Amino acid sequence: MSLDLEKIRADTPGLATVNHLLASGSALMPKPVIDAMTGHILLEASIGGYEAAADKADDLDAVYGHVATLINAKPCEIALMENATAAWCQAFYALPLKRGDRILTCQAEYAANYVAYLQRAKRDGIIIDVIPNDESGAIDVEAIEDLLTERTALIAITWIPTNGGLVNPAISVGKIANKHGIPYLLDACQAVGQMPVDVREIGCDYMTATGRKFLRGPRGTGFLYIREALIEQTEPAMIDHFAAPWVAAKEYALRPDARRFENWENAYALRAGLGAAVAYANDIGLDKIQKRAWHLADYFRLHITTVNGARLRDAGSNFCAIASFTIDGLDPLTTVATLRKQGINIGASDPNSTLLDAQTRHLPTVLRVAPHYYNTKQEIDALIKALRAMV
């Protein structure tokens, strides 16, 4: 059965006021997400913050189960975080990398991750190796084994980059990482919520994602997945008395689950919103979500070519729900601002967000359109019409 677009659109109040084509930035939240958050805030206001968390303990606990279901993990393998970067940093900075250890990453790596590599290169003396792209612009899987050395201590890649439609071969990379017993950290920030994600199939040891993008959750939410077998041996870079209760004057005991990466204090209303967003996506089905969102992005790619001077900038051969492009003679930031005034939301991605990729492909700031399953072809037609009027 296909998804119930009428209900989905009725569930999405933002659609009444805006033509929102930027799920890769932050998607529109559905009503159950808004209700979960406002409900919790109102409860905190009426009975107290600690009391609200206690009364809603079961629901708040269920968030781990929803996230686990979404990615085929166990609840004990999930830590809820305030964003994807915080989750990624918790995994990365916990790795005991030593001088001379090597990290293998990709051309389309996200800036936040890359600057962390650079910091540990400066501070700890690690070495960064970058997998070349194949002719399509995706990770060249064939090149990986030649780059591995005895000192390769981590493979860390971005699955879907921030700046376009590329889908890197995360499963093939996982097979190589597993074959050589090398830890595998996957940035799935732009993938989670727009397509089915299965951590067992991917074979990743750590995976990170955000709530506000394709998952349709609130801003300020994200999560970390860590494979169960690794939890006990992983000492987070920073801990508090929730992650590691203070059990004797000179002793702490790390929690046995992934929540050893969390802190004591949290935004419970946002967590409630994240839980509702994940449950909403699980209910619709990620296969259906992917089918419609990717189809709409393809529809955009087909029609943008009718705009004078428009050039698609997506790398790879299997495009996702993010489409990137430039239009000769149009400044991207002005274009975004002009469309915004007309009630159309798209975004721009500057070269610094994916510097290696931008340098390799000589990319300027690109425009970014990311329809979600709640969008329609009419909304994309309205965008194309508005762009045509600007050239």
Ligand X SMILES: Cc1ncc(COP(=O)(O)O)c(C=O)c1O
Q: Could you list the residues that contact ligand X (CB under 6 A)?
A: 83-85, 110, 112, 158, 161-162, 187, 189-190, 210, 222
Cα–Cα distance, 259 to 242 (Å, whole number): 8
Using the minimum distance from each CB to ligand X, give the nearer residue, 8 or 110.
110
Closest distance between ligand X and the C-beta of residue 112, in Å? 6
CA distance 346 to 371: 9
Q: Do the beta carbons of residue 170 and residue 202 sit within 8 Å?
A: yes
Give the chain's radius of gyration (CA, Å): 21
Least Å from the CB of residue 94 to ligand X:
17
Beta bridge partners of 105: 130
Nearer to ligand X, 140 or 187 (CB): 187
Smaller CB distance to ligand X: residue 130 or 148?
Answer: 130
Q: How far is the CB of 198 from ligand X (least distance, A)?
A: 19
Closest CB 83 distance from ligand X, rounded Å: 3
Q: Is 8 or 185 the residue whose CB approaches ligand X more closely?
A: 185
| Nearer to ligand X (CB atom), residue 94 or residue 160 | 160
Q: What is the C-alpha separation between 192 and 110, in angstroms, rounded? A: 16
By C-alpha distance, which of 29, 18, 17, 9 is closest to 346?
A: 18
Is the CB of residue 169 less than 8 Å from the CB of residue 318? no
Q: What are phi and psi of 267, to 5 degrees?
A: -90, 90
| Smallest distance from ligand X to CB 15, Å | 23
Smallest gap, in angstroms, from Cβ of residue 193 to ligand X? Answer: 12
Closer CB to ligand X, 82 or 257, in the complex: 82
3-state secondary structure of 274: helix
Q: What is the spatial distance between Cα 125 and Cα 100, in angstroms, rounded to a whole number?
A: 6
Smallest gap, in angstroms, from Cβ of residue 160 to ligand X?
7
- Report the alpha-carbon distance of residue 357 to residue 355 in Å, rounded: 5
Output 19 or 26, the one with its CB closest to ligand X: 26
What is the rounded CA–CA span in Å between residue 379 and residue 387?
Answer: 13
